[in-house]
């Protein structure tokens, strides 16, 4: 039985492609950035679908990107894939002192906080807002700035919702007096209050052991699925979704929910 390929085999293949393929040879760290982002999203889609075949394939595509960047760096004389491995091993051992150096067990975020200058250090600029909120709250909790249970975050959500309702009432009065939405200081304040509400909801999710982005993914999928049923039912009954009206659509929504 033939042995399975090793990571060294994949590294050798990448080096060969850099020598023999014109396209591969022309790539740089900068030119590869879009592909890394795309492959990460494709892997995320496979994970969401729990499709093992796709997960396997997309992990390979993502590994290709890691090897690609490592070989480009190797050619520049900056570092090679073994240096990358060394950095990873060193970091993981430092963050698990109770396993590798007879140290005391410490929360992950508390260990990482010792090497940061600020709570935002190391967070990617392009990190999606929901994920960024979760990570900021994780980091704050890691140094002790956290509620003991979900009661505090839940109360904070209610508090922020009350503040949003107050601003919505003010916005409604302003809109009704002018006949059109007013995008002025009040709108900016409302935007801030809604942001506080979202941040509080993310914190409640985190404290409940749920990642807000995954929860929202599930809600998005549920809404799309149910609204798809509405569209099918409307066509079957000769209704135009665009003109059926809220009452008719709401009835179809309840029917779609009942079919699940």
Residue-wise pLDDT for 61-89, tens only, equals 999 999 999 999 999 999 999 999 999 99
Give the pLDDT confidence score for residue 171 in this predicted structure.
78
Residue-wise pLDDT for 242-258, tens only, equals 999 999 999 999 999 99
Cα three-residue angle 128-88-17, rounded to 5 degrees: 85
Give the pLDDT confidence score for residue 108 in this predicted structure.
76
Secondary structure letter of residue 118 according to DSSP: S
Give the pLDDT confidence score for residue 232 in this predicted structure.
95
- Angstrom distance (rounded) from CA 50 to CA 198: 28
Residue 99 near residue 70 (C-beta atoms within 8 A): no
Contacts of 106 (CB under 8 A, 6+ apart): 97, 98
Phi-psi region of 124 (alpha: psi -120 to 50; beta: other; left: phi over 0): beta
Domain ranges in the chain are: 7-105, 147-208, 216-258
Q: Which residue has the tokens 């839940």?
A: 154
Closest by Cα among 165, 169, 164, 220 to 197: 164
- Predicted confidence band at 1 (pLDDT cuts at 50, 70, 90)? low
Secondary structure letter of residue 106 according to DSSP: -
Average pLDDT for residues 47-72, to the nearest whole number?
96
Residue-wise pLDDT for 140-188, tens only, equals 999 999 999 999 999 999 999 999 999 998 877 665 555 555 567 888 8
Q: Which residue has the higher pLDDT, 177 or 46?
A: 46
How much is the pTM? 0.74
Residue-wise pLDDT for 98-146, tens only, equals 899 888 888 878 888 888 889 999 899 889 999 999 999 999 999 999 9
Closest by Cα among 218, 199, 219 to 157: 199
- The tally of CA atoms less than 13 A away on the side-chain side of residue 128 is 11
Contacts of 64 (CB under 8 A, 6+ apart): 10, 14, 39
Q: Which residue has the tokens 């109770």?
A: 98
Average pLDDT for residues 195-223, to the nearest whole number?
96
CATH of region 7-105, choose from 3.40.50.12780, 1.10.287.1080, 2.30.40.10, 3.40.1160.10: 1.10.287.1080
Average pLDDT for residues 4-28, to the nearest whole number?
96
- Predicted confidence band at 9 (pLDDT cuts at 50, 70, 90)? very high
- Angstrom distance (rounded) from CA 171 to CA 182: 8
């Amino acid at each position: 039985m033939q042995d399975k390929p090793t990571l060294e085999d994949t590294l050798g293949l990448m080096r060969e492609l850099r020598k023999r393929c014109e396209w591969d040879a022309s790539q740089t760290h900068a030119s590869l950035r879009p592909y890394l982002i795309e492959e990460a999203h494709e892997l995320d889609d496979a994970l969401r679908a729990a499709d093992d075949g796709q997960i396997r394939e997309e992990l390979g595509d993502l590994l290709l990107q890691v090897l690609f960047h490592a070989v480009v760096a190797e050619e520049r004389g900056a570092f090679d894939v073994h240096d990358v491995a060394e950095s990873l091993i060193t970091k993981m051992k430092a963050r698990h002192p109770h396993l590798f150096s007879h140290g005391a067990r410490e929360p992950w975020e508390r260990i990482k906080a010792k090497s940061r200058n600020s709570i935002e250090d190391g967070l990617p600029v392009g990190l999606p807002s929901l994920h960024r909120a979760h990570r900021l709250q994780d980091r704050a909790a890691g140094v002790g700035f956290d509620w003991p249970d979900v009661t505090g975050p839940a109360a904070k959500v209610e508090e922020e919702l009350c503040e949003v309702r107050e601003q919505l009432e003010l916005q409604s009065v302003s809109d009704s007096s002018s006949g059109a939405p007013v995008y002025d200081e009040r709108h900016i304040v409302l935007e801030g209050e809604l942001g506080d509400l979202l941040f509080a909801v993310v914190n409640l999710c985190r404290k409940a052991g749920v990642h807000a982005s995954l929860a929202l993914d599930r809600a998005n999928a549920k809404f799309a699925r149910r609204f798809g049923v509405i569209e099918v039912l409307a066509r079957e009954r000769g209704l135009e979704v665009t003109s059926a009206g809220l009452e008719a659509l709401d009835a179809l929504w309840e029917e779609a929910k009942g079919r699940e």
